Every structure is written in C-alpha cells, then in structure tokens.
Amino acid sequence: MALLASTSPAVAKMLLRWNFKEGSGLGARGQGIVAPVQLCNTTTGIGYGERSYENGLPGTTPAVQEEWRRRCEELARALRLEEECCFKTLELLLRDMTRDDDARSRAETAEALAAIFKSMKVFQLKRAPGMWKATLPCSTVLYIVERVIKPKMAADAQEWTPSWDADCHQWVRPWIPLVGHLPDGLFDAVERKITNHADEYAVISPWKDYMDQTQWDTFTRRHVLPWLTSLVRELMIAPPKQMDPSFHTLMQWAPLVPAKTVVSILEEELFFDRFEDALRHWLQSGAGKPSSKEAVAWCTGWKNLFTPDLLADEGVLARMDAVAALVDTEA
C-alpha cells in the first residue's frame, strides 16, 4: 500500500511539503530508512545483547565469581580488624601512661606507644593481613600482649555472660591480630561459661575462629561431638515425611568439625542402615508404595542437605549410591 494513501491528509500534506516521493526515504537527501522496522524480539528491550537476564536482573553469579567475592570480603574484614586492634591498643597504652606511677613501666609503655604510632604508616600502603604486626618489634608485641592485652581480656572474661550478651566475643576478636587466639589461661574460663550453651550454634560457632586448633579440638571432643551424636541417635527417618528437623541442625553444625568425624558419627549411629531400612519398607508397603519418581525425590531431598565436604567423602557417596540402586531395584 502506498504510504501517502495510507496516512492521514495532514501527514500526507506535510510529507509532500518535504518533497517526499514514494519509495524513497525521508531527509534532505532521501537518506532515511525505506524498509519498515521489523519486530525481532518481544521479550527484550533496548540494550538487549547475548547475556541472559531474568526478570530484568542479571543471571546467577558464576561460582568462581562468588568465591572471589567471598575472599575479597574476608580480606577486607581482616584488614579492618588490624586497624581496629591498632587503635584499641593505643587507647590501652595511653590509659596506662596516665595511671602508672612506676618510671620503668612508664618508659616501656612510652616505647610501645612510639612503636605503635610508627607502625600506623603501613595503613597508608597496599598491604596484606599480618603486615601491620610485622612492622612492630618482637619485644613490643610481647610487652603489649603480656602486660596490656591479656590482663584486659582476663578482666573482660570475668564480666562476660554468654547467655545474654549479644557481643560476647567482642572482648576477644579485636585482639586476634596481635594475640592470635584465645590465651591458654582463659580457655578453662570460657569453657565453663559456654558449656551450658553447647547446643546453641550462635554461642558456640564463633569460637572456632578464636581458639587455636588444640583448644578447639578439646572443646568439640568434650561438648560438640556428644551433641551431634545425640542428634543422629534421635533422628527419625519416616518416609514419605521428607526429613527430621534434627538433620538440618546436624548439617548446620557439621562444618565445625572434620567431615571424617561427622561420617564416623553417622556410621556408628547406623544412620545409613536406618535410612536404607526405612526406604526399603516404604518401597514394599503395598498400597502405600511410592512411585519411582516419588522415591527418587525423597532420596534427593535428603542428599541435597549434606554439606559439600560430606558429599565429597567416598564413604558417603558409596552409601548414597546404594540407596539409588535400591530405588531402581524395588520401585
């Protein structure tokens, strides 16, 4: 259909005034497009490219980018913690300078203060965690840790009440860059105070970062492992119920101890045997027998809750493969 004939009289008159001719484009030299614009993609908008989007938002971040983001955040937290430790140390040293009447002690404090002030230059540089402590003389670090920080931590430990103090670890965390971990002399005091909260993840889990490996192994052996064992022992596996909430709790706690330890608990408490027995009974239940699809979905639901470390264990994989084979045989 001719363009002029299909337009309104007013538009046709305007086009003729611009010397428009059928088959040519608009513009002083007829350079405008002639072919009509083609509808190409009704689900995308301006700026559409090859990258996939969903609901206007970028697609899922690749796992490698997520891991990189996590590491960057951890690095930033570690660097901020060093600065926090530095300024809190300054506060304690300045406090001691005003309180101490012993000349020798004042001289040692003044020397430590000078070293701290000098070390602060490192915060203006591009640095890695640990560089700030490395700028301090060993004698200064020893003096600050033994004479300033440890007495402060001991006093705070006495005041600490884990049952209600939301910031219960703030008396430990700021000093980690210099002290490294909970001082051995405070381990017994901390253990006594958190023993009554051994089944409270929010109270227990932060201590994995604040205790050294020996301390943490001792604590988990005495308190965490018995708690995990009781969770597995009391676990109910009753299809078609998807899973017992205790299993969610177990998997939340699992990263606090070695995967091999969790696997040992599962084996010793016959978790996999009980799991297979429950599944076999369900598959042979006559009128209530599930379809193959239902049985697979039930098993997959349990498997998806296992932590990545547990799923990487050959023993766990072998037992879960046996479960899949059971479904294939009985369903």
pLDDT of residue 170: 83
Range ranked top by mean pLDDT from 6-10, 35-39, 264-268 = 264-268
> In the structure encoding, which two tokens stand for residue 31, read together?
């350079």
- Whole-number Å distance between alpha carbons of 291 and 299: 13
pLDDT of residue 97: 82
**Contact at 8 Å (CB) between 27 and 19?**
no
Determine the average pLDDT of the residues in 167-183: 89
pLDDT of residue 103: 75
Chain-centroid distance of CA 4 in Å reads 66
- Whole-number Å distance between alpha carbons of 215 and 218: 5
| Tokens 């697609």, residue located | 59
Determine the average pLDDT of the residues in 233-247: 88
Higher pLDDT among residues 25 and 96, named by residue: 96
pLDDT of residue 167: 65
For 101, half-sphere exposure in the C-beta direction (CA atoms, 13 angstrom radius) is 0
Residue 20 has pLDDT above 90, yes or no: no
**pTM confidence score:** 0.73
Read off φ and ψ for residue 205, nearest 5 degrees.
-60, -40
pLDDT of residue 37: 47
Per-residue pLDDT tens digits for 272-281:
999 999 999 9
- Whole-number Å distance between alpha carbons of 316 and 267: 9
Question: Among the listed ranges 36-40, 152-156, 301-305, which one has the minimum average pLDDT value?
Answer: 36-40
pLDDT of residue 49: 41
105 band by pLDDT with thresholds 50, 70 and 90: confident
68 band by pLDDT with thresholds 50, 70 and 90: confident
Per-residue pLDDT tens digits for 115-173:
999 999 999 989 999 999 999 999 999 999 999 999 999 999 998 888 766 566 789 99
DSSP secondary structure code for residue 143 in this structure = H
Find all residues with CB under 8 Å of 190, minimum gap 6, and list them: 157, 182, 207
Question: Among the listed ranges 20-29, 135-144, 179-188, 271-280, which one has the minimum average pLDDT value?
Answer: 20-29
- Tell me the three state secondary structure of residue 285: coil
CA-to-CA separations, 54 to 43, 51, 57, 203, in angstroms, rounded: 11, 10, 5, 39
Determine the average pLDDT of the residues in 63-82: 87
DSSP secondary structure code for residue 220 in this structure = I
Determine the average pLDDT of the residues in 49-78: 67
Residue 18 has pLDDT above 60, yes or no: no
Helices (H), the chain: 3-6, 9-17, 63-99, 103-119, 131-134, 138-143, 150-159, 176-179, 184-194, 201-204, 207-210, 213-219, 225-233, 245-253, 259-268, 271-283, 292-303, 308-311, 314-330
Residue 55 has pLDDT above 60, yes or no: no
**Contact at 8 Å (CB) between 53 and 59?**
yes
C-alpha angle 238-243-247 in degrees, rounded to nearest 5: 120
- Whole-number Å distance between alpha carbons of 167 and 323: 45
pLDDT of residue 50: 42
Per-residue pLDDT tens digits for 250-285:
999 999 999 999 999 999 999 999 999 999 999 888
Read off φ and ψ for residue 164, nearest 5 degrees.
-135, -15
Determine the average pLDDT of the residues in 82-103: 87
CA-to-CA separations, 314 to 118, 181, 198, 246, 319, in angstroms, rounded: 53, 34, 30, 24, 9
- Tell me the three state secondary structure of residue 228: helix
